Amino acid sequence: MDVSFWMPIAVVLVCLFSLLLVGVWVALGLFLTALASMFLFTSIDAGAVLSSTIWSGINSWELAALPMFIWMGEILFSSGLSENMFKGLSPWMRNLPGRLLHVNIVGCGIFAAVSGSSAATTATIGKMSIPELEKRGYDEKMIIGTLAGSGTLGLLIPPSIILIVYGAATDQSIARLFIAGIVPGLVLLLMFMGYVVIWSLLNPDKSPDAEAKMSLIDKIKGTRHLMPVVLLIAMVIGSIYTGIASPTEAASLGVLMALTLSWVGGTLNKDSFNVALMSAVKTSTMIAFILIGAAFLTVAMGFTGIPRELAAHIGEMNLSKYELLIALTFFFIILGCFLDGISVVVLTTSVILPMVEQVGIDLIWFGIYLVLVVEMSQITPPVGFNLFVLQAMTGKNIFKVALYALPFFLILVVLVILVTLFPSIILGLGAGLYGG
């Protein structure tokens, strides 16, 4: 491959990573890199392209679901949901091997279905469970490890913010992506629980004494604390999967339901409403800014011809699908050590997707695979967002937290291998619902 091909790639990479290393905002780094590549390697009017891209980059009805789901999660974050979840889950988990450690895992899985954010899931469940589990004498490493690993479920179990971003960036159906995330999310949850069971059986001395057994009637009574969130999940996710509502419409219903639950629970007031709304606005604006920058970089890459040439180069190398996925997995894990998950997705789609399509990989499948690999980056230093959350909550060194999370990182690796060998884990449910 001649110098004329590698020069634009080198300039783009050096420019982008130099900006990120000196602390420039991700979105601004994307804009500046796109401008530099267009000025240097094309004769296109970059200003005209930028003005049209700003509008087209966020003019998406499906993307409107993003701030609504974020707002829904923020409302529930301050509604006492986590305390009710502990009361509802602990009676059913107390006699399993590993006992209340499973509350971390199942609690994260449930909250992921109403939050969509990995960091919010980890913070909410951790705030509730860490004091309770420490008080009962559970192993500190497992308390932190289960939270770090299970918090990543917020990226996968729908409604997932990162899947909405991926769908908007790649023009894929968000509803289909949500459906594709269900089975892998449940499989991952069960794998985490299975590891806790095995660890508990191998280390009986590190588990506290069994708590008094509860009657079935008492367990059922305790489950009433879970009913509000179960109802919310059923309404939001069920309306999407049955075709009654689009993701955006379902998100709006979810906000209304969350406000109702908060009002009924007595936690809804002017201050809590304003805090949740402003937090959602800040997060949504940040993501929208990144998406616009990514859209502009995508257009700029198209004008430079880099994706087309790179795809052709990959084709000439005759890489198999599996060889490409192995290379991409290492690439995404390394990139995730320095960037948050959303940035990884929007930074790479314009260059990676031509390669993926070149080898015949389904883009819905690839979206879930990408989220799984990004989940790994949430528990890898130095920029693992779940690690940051747990470091702040526990006061532990970030590398020590990462060490505690290592078994869950390896479980994610195993799941990536499984979904690669058996794509129906991801695509099977969607095929059943849509007939292909």
User: Per the structure block, which two tokens stand in for 43?
Assistant: 């004769």
Instruction: Determine the average pLDDT of the residues in 129-142.
Output: 85
pLDDT the model gives residue 431:
59
Region 260-268: mean pLDDT is: 82
Please, what is the average pLDDT of the chain?
80
Q: Check pLDDT > 90 for residue 225.
A: no
**CB count, 10 Å around CB of 248?**
21
pLDDT per residue as tens digits for the range 204-224: 888 776 666 767 677 777 677
Least confident of 28-32, 133-137, 157-161, 312-316: 312-316
Given a cut of 60, is residue 239 above it in pLDDT? yes
Dihedral over Cα of 37, 42, 45, 48: its sign = negative
> CA angle, 16 as apex, 15 and 21 as ends, to 5°?
100
What 8-state DSSP symbol labels residue 58? H
Rounded Cα gap, residues 395 and 404, in angstroms: 14
What band does 116 get if pLDDT is binned at 50, 70 and 90? low
Q: Is residue 168 scored above 50 in pLDDT?
A: yes
The reported pLDDT for the residue numbered 369 is 94
pLDDT greater at residue 323 or residue 344: 323
Number of domains the chain contains: 1
What is the pLDDT, as a whole number, of residue 312? 64
Per-residue confidence (pLDDT) for residue 4, from 0 to 100: 61
Please give the Cα distance from 93 to 344 (Å, whole number): 36
More confident residue, 353 or 365: 365
Average the pLDDT over 55-62 and give the result. Answer: 67
- Which two structure tokens, joined as six digits, stand for 71? 């707002």
| 102-113 per-position pLDDT tens digit | 888 988 888 777
Q: Is 130 in contact with 143 (CB distance < 8 Å)?
A: yes
pLDDT on residue 192: 94
Instruction: Label residue 228 by pLDDT band (50, 70, 90).
Output: confident
Q: Find where tokens 């986590």 sit.
A: 82
Q: How many CB atoms lie within 10 A of CB 66?
A: 28
Q: Residue 1's pLDDT band (boundaries 50, 70, 90)?
A: very low
Mean pLDDT for the stretch of residues 26-33: 81
CA dist 396 and 401 (Å) reads: 7
Residue with the bigger pLDDT between 125 and 150: it is 150
Confidence category of residue 196, pLDDT binned at 50, 70, 90: very high
Note down the domain range covering 9: 3-434
**Residue 286, burial from CB neighbour count under 10 angstroms (0-12, 13-18, 19+):** middle
Buried b (16+ CB within 10 A) or exposed e, 133-168: beeeebbebbbbbbbbbbbbbbbbbbbbbbbbbbbb
Angle at 402 between CA 344 and CA 26, to 5 degrees: 25
Angle separating helix axes 174-202 and 227-241, nearest 10 degrees = 140
Q: What is the maximum span of the chain, computed from C-alpha positions, in angstroms?
A: 75
Highest mean pLDDT among 159-163, 185-189, 295-299, 316-320: 185-189
- If you average pLDDT over each of 17-31, 129-143, 340-354, which comes out highest? 129-143
DSSP SS3 for 14: helix
pLDDT score for 389: 75
pTM listed for this prediction: 0.74
Cα–Cα distances in Å, from 234 out to 32, 113, 159, 250, 253? 43, 10, 12, 11, 11
Instruction: Check residue 395 and give its pLDDT.
Output: 80
**2, pLDDT greater than 60:** no
Q: Which of 87-91, 278-282, 300-304, 334-338 has the highest mean pLDDT?
A: 278-282
